[in-house]
Amino acid sequence: MIARDEALALDAADPLAFARARFILPPGVIYLDGNSLGALPRRTATRVTDTVTREWGERLIGSWNDAGAGNGGWIEAPARVGAKIARLIEARGDEVIVTDSVSVNVFKLAAAALAMNPRRRVIVTESGNFPTDVYMLEGLCRLTGATLRVAADPLAALDDDTALLLLTQTHYHSGAVRDLAATTAAAHAAGALMCWDLSHSTGALAIDLTAANADMAVGCGYKFLNGGPGAPAFAYVARRHHDALDQPLTGWMGHAAPFAFEGSYRPGGGMARMLAGTPGMLGMAALASGVATFDGIDMAATQAKSTALGDLLLDLVAERCPGIDVACPRTARGAQVSLSHEHAYEICQALIERGVVGDFRPPDVVRFGLPALYTRFVDVWDAVDVLAGIVAHQAWRAARFAMRRAVT
């Protein structure tokens, strides 16, 4: 039996324990859903208020060139915040830009990959990938006449007509993590480009896109980067592809000279051409604050702590929650744990009512996100204690827990 004191001892020895003070967490809540919506950083309200009242309210349109207080101009923010994210994924600063949503960036990059590999007409992805990736690729293929191959074994589906392999590194449902370097090498061996969806990896794992020789990637701002609901996403393209990068949403912000108001499109240099329309500065300010929660944080330590939190959770569930099955790998797992039960939805609602917030993914999974910056070992112990009580007393059977909400 793992005692609560053992969890407290792990917290006392945790080298990342200090980072929890960078967040505001509501009392009485054990928040294990940072893989869906990261918690609120302590500095975000001040940062966003400053953008509203001083940068917008006082400096007005001048903030596009210089927002004052050492914040630089709004116009450079997509590249500036992108460069901060680059450190977290071992990319060069000019290889990452903040823009649009993950969905839109998947579309832009997959289209660019087809243009870079014009004699090949197939895009391969995996069945069970996060739906928006598949939906966006379906739309792109409808538009271009390219073929989407959705395969259970995507590496086996590569052939000499494959232009692009697009995969999610950390699976949203199971938390299973793919080997970046080995998978990228397999794509390259087949003559395909590799695009990674790093939505559940960025801010959670130690990622090295440069060592993996990745071509392209997208990632999410509102999960482990703590950028706030609907935060802008990011796109990565390796420098070696910048000159050939040709994405189809050729808006004025991606133009070489947006304020020359030329009659026809000329792409901007490097990642600037990934932009389409005007970036939203309120969301950008919140994202900048979220990314700043990683200042001075070592990503290897982050990954190690999340793995240890997940291991503890799985050990406690095995010990105390009969009838709950494990729906995630024991190793090579992201900063989440997935458990399954026929009544997972109801169990998830019963947990939330008791202040333990995870989420439900159909058909039968409860996910617990374990962001290293603010999750404590004792939170995991207490959460499983609550879960064990719900299972033992079948508390999930109360009729109110079966009511389905719009967001699960």
Ligand X SMILES: Cc1ncc(COP(=O)(O)O)c(C=O)c1O
Positions marked catalytic: 130, 197, 222-223, 367
Q: What number of chain residues touch ligand X (CB under 6 A)?
A: 13
Interface residue with ligand X among 90, 103, 258, 354 (CB under 6 A) is 103
Q: Which of residues 5 and 138 has its CB atom nearest to ligand X in the complex?
A: 138
Interface residue with ligand X among 102, 113, 165, 321 (CB under 6 A) is 102
Q: Which of residues 78 and 387 has its CB atom nearest to ligand X in the complex?
A: 78
Nearest-approach distance from CB 59 to ligand X, in angstroms: 29
Nearest to 22, CA basis, from 45, 47, 49, 40:
40
Contact 184, 214 (CB under 8 A): yes
Q: Of 37-45, 128-136, 144-152, 383-391, which part binds ligand X (CB under 6 A)?
A: 128-136
Residue 340 is a binding residue for ligand X (CB under 6 A): no
Q: Which of residues 67 and 111 has its CB atom nearest to ligand X in the complex?
A: 111
**Counting Cβ atoms within 10 Å, is residue 76 exposed (0-12), middle (13-18) or buried (19+)?**
middle
Q: Which of residues 83 and 231 has its CB atom nearest to ligand X in the complex?
A: 231
Nearest-approach distance from CB 18 to ligand X, in angstroms: 29
The pair of three-digit structure tokens given for residue 248, joined into one six-digit string: 């189809």
Nearest-approach distance from CB 175 to ligand X, in angstroms: 11
Nearest-approach distance from CB 168 to ligand X, in angstroms: 5
Q: Of 40-48, 130-138, 245-253, 298-306, which part binds ligand X (CB under 6 A)?
A: 130-138
Kindly identify the residues of this chain, within the stretch 220-279, that bind ligand X according to CB under 6 A: 220, 233
Provide DSSP, 161-195: TEEEEEEESB-TTT-BB--HHHHHHHHHHTT-EEE
Q: Of 98-106, 111-119, 289-297, 328-336, which part binds ligand X (CB under 6 A)?
A: 98-106
Q: Which of residues 114 and 166 has its CB atom nearest to ligand X in the complex?
A: 166
Q: Which of residues 130 and 236 has its CB atom nearest to ligand X in the complex?
A: 130
- 329 bridge partner residues: none
Cα separation, 177 vs 337, whole angstroms: 12
Q: Which of residues 101 and 338 has its CB atom nearest to ligand X in the complex?
A: 101
Q: Of 101-109, 321-329, 369-377, 394-402, which part binds ligand X (CB under 6 A)?
A: 101-109
Contact 247, 229 (CB under 8 A): no
**Per-residue string for binding with ligand X, 204-223, x by CB under 6 A?**
----------------x---
**Counting Cβ atoms within 10 Å, is residue 213 exposed (0-12), middle (13-18) or buried (19+)?**
middle
Nearest-approach distance from CB 388 to ligand X, in angstroms: 29
Residue 201's contacts (CB-CB under 8 Å, 6 or more residues apart) are: 89, 169, 170, 177, 207, 219, 334
The pair of three-digit structure tokens given for residue 339, joined into one six-digit string: 């458990």
Kindly identify the residues of this chain, within the stretch 152-211, that bind ligand X according to CB under 6 A: 168, 172, 197, 199-200
**Per-residue string for binding with ligand X, 133-152, x by CB under 6 A?**
x-------------------
Q: Which of residues 36 and 71 has its CB atom nearest to ligand X in the complex?
A: 36
Contact 96, 291 (CB under 8 A): no
Angle subtended at Cα 215 by Cα 338 and Cα 307, rounded to the nearest 5 degrees: 25
Contact 190, 351 (CB under 8 A): no
Residue 97 is a binding residue for ligand X (CB under 6 A): no
**Counting Cβ atoms within 10 Å, is residue 78 exposed (0-12), middle (13-18) or buried (19+)?**
buried
Nearest-approach distance from CB 303 to ligand X, in angstroms: 18
Residue 132 is a binding residue for ligand X (CB under 6 A): yes
What single-letter DSSP state applies at residue 40? E
Contact 285, 48 (CB under 8 A): yes
Nearest-approach distance from CB 220 to ligand X, in angstroms: 5
Nearest to 307, CA basis, from 333, 343, 273:
333
Interface residue with ligand X among 51, 71, 101, 247 (CB under 6 A) is 101
Nearest-approach distance from CB 178 to ligand X, in angstroms: 12
HSE, side-chain direction, 13 A CA sphere, residue 349? 18
Residue 216's contacts (CB-CB under 8 Å, 6 or more residues apart) are: 109, 112, 113, 193, 194, 195, 196, 235, 236, 237, 238, 241
Q: Compute the chain's Rg from CA coordinates.
A: 22
Q: Of 99-107, 152-160, 319-327, 347-355, which part binds ligand X (CB under 6 A)?
A: 99-107
The footprint of ligand X (CB under 6 A) covers 101-103, 130, 132-133, 168, 172, 197, 199-200, 220, 233
